[in-house]
Chains A and B, each alone.
Chain A
Amino acid sequence: MPVSHYPRYKKYRPRVYSKRMPIVWWVSKWPLTRFILRELTSVFVAFYAIVLLLHVRALSAGPEAYADFMAWLQTPLALILHAIALVMVLYHSITWFSLAPKAMVLRVGSKRIPGWAIAGANFAAWGVFSAALAWIILAL
């Protein structure tokens, strides 16, 4: 590669020598792998947002397009993708609600509500929301 006259990376060049980390620095320790897995749940959140959008688009395109979309959902590829995505979005929910006490500090008078109560309330609300959404869909 030719040497650039205008090095684009200048801004981030470290002032002291530091060894470059391998790209997969996070596979060596389980907590680090778990951290990257948690961050990657967002990919599956986006995956399902797009599936929902395609679902609505098929719905707006008419009964034939909708039937095609429903048939696609039954293909092995779609089922495998959804199965993996389900595990990942469940991991997203569990980690998200478990961290809720760190994000919101609630007090009653001068007493701080314990973290387990805030996390518990979030998990309970998750159950209520899920039941309500399931009820709406199952009532169709």
Chain B
Amino acid sequence: MAKHKGKTNEPFWWALFGAGGVLAAFCIPVLLFLNGLAIPLGWIEAPRYEDVLALVQHPLTRLFLFGLISLSMFHWAHRFRFTLYDGLQIKHLNFLVALMCYGSAIVVTVFAGFILWQL
């Protein structure tokens, strides 16, 4: 990595990466298994639209989903950024890669905030 002089914003991105890593590790496997495999394959009965809507409209659920979606994206952004540096050796594209990764995470965060707010 390039040498940093004085202050950097690296710890900020790292904190988001860590928070997203923890939340994703705890929550995503079970959500993915139930919503993405068990329910579509009919292993368990699909809940009714009204019931899912009522659950997701609860303020705590909205907050949880916002945090999970946003922090998972920042987790990806940080980890994928360094995977691209090391795996593909494209350090010279430093700024572009960082912009692409963190930028995507910010776009998804704004979009998630908007959708969950007006739900």
Contacts and interface: CB of A to CB of B under 8 A. Distances in A.
A86 B32 contact: yes
A129 B76 contact: no
B100 interface: no
A53 B21 contact: no
Contacts of A126: 25-26
Interface in A55-73: 55-57, 59-60, 63, 66-67, 70, 73
B65 interface: yes
Interface in A36-95: 36, 39-40, 42-43, 45-46, 48-53, 55-57, 59-60, 63, 66-67, 70, 73-74, 78-79, 82-83, 85-86, 89-90, 92-93
Contacts of B18: 103
A40 B41 CA distance: 27
Interface residues of B, number: 57
B28 interface: yes
Interface in B48-90: 48-49, 51-53, 55-56, 65, 68-70, 72-73, 75-77, 79-80, 82-83, 87-89
A39 B83 contact: yes
A30 interface: no
B15 interface: no
B37 A137 contact: no
Name the interface size band of chain A.
Answer: 35 or more
Given A42-B83, A92-B24, A79 B76 contact: no
A21 B89 contact: yes
Contacts of B73: 46, 49
Nearest to A13: B92
B87 A26 contact: yes
A133 B51 CA distance: 15
Q: Which 6 A-B pairs have the closest CB atoms?
A: A82-B36, A140-B47, A46-B76, A49-B72, A42-B79, A130-B30
